[in-house]
Structure 1
Amino acid sequence: MERELDYKAIGKRVKIARIKADMKQEHVAEKSGLSPTHISNIETGTTKASLSAIVSVANAIGVTVDDLLCDSLIHARPQFEQDIAELIEDCDDYEIRMVKDITEALIATLRRDAHLRQ
């Protein structure tokens, strides 16, 4: 089964990674050999970025291709675990407890209704 790439999700991850790296689109463009317009189009998901463009952007920003493509990968557990860890790293005790309780309820519901995935 072929899975379609989610270019909007890839673009969102590129933008987030670029911002975390404190880089402007122009700097990513310069380091990747792509035009600033192309970087902008990748970030908005309005273009279907080639594999070579994604690799160039990942290298320019200093992230892995998996970091950018994980929403389109079936086996991307480590990346999603890292995303979850980043989401909760600045939570206070109350927020952590609520996230844990909600996650526990969500997992129970997902497993109870697993037959609906088919």
Structure 2
Amino acid sequence: MAFALGTARDPGLQPERTSLAWTRTALAVLLNALVALRGAWIDGSAMLLATGAMLALAACALYGYGVHRGRVLLACEGQVPHPAGLARVAALVLLACATGVAGVAWHLLH
């Protein structure tokens, strides 16, 4: 099947698959966060607590980005979307990691 120049691409199920993949990734990260938090609860380890908190924040960021990306892909109707939301998600994950590292460093120094 030949496509004429200037016609919009049919996205098919790609937007839905993309959104579901981000959701599955967020769920996997969240499950790892819960395991780390459980370990922190049992052992009282500040490092596990910080790791679990960072993973939980990363899971929330991944899920939010997945929902955003799915909506953008569905709204574009075949056009190439602009990835402006990626910078916000990267900043959120970086902030979560920096907060966790600062918390662990504070705990180790006191």
Instruction: Report the TM-score when normalising by structure 2.
Output: 0.25
Q: Which has the larger radius of gyration?
A: 2
Instruction: Report the TM-score when normalising by structure 1.
Output: 0.24
- Structure with greater helix share of residues: 2
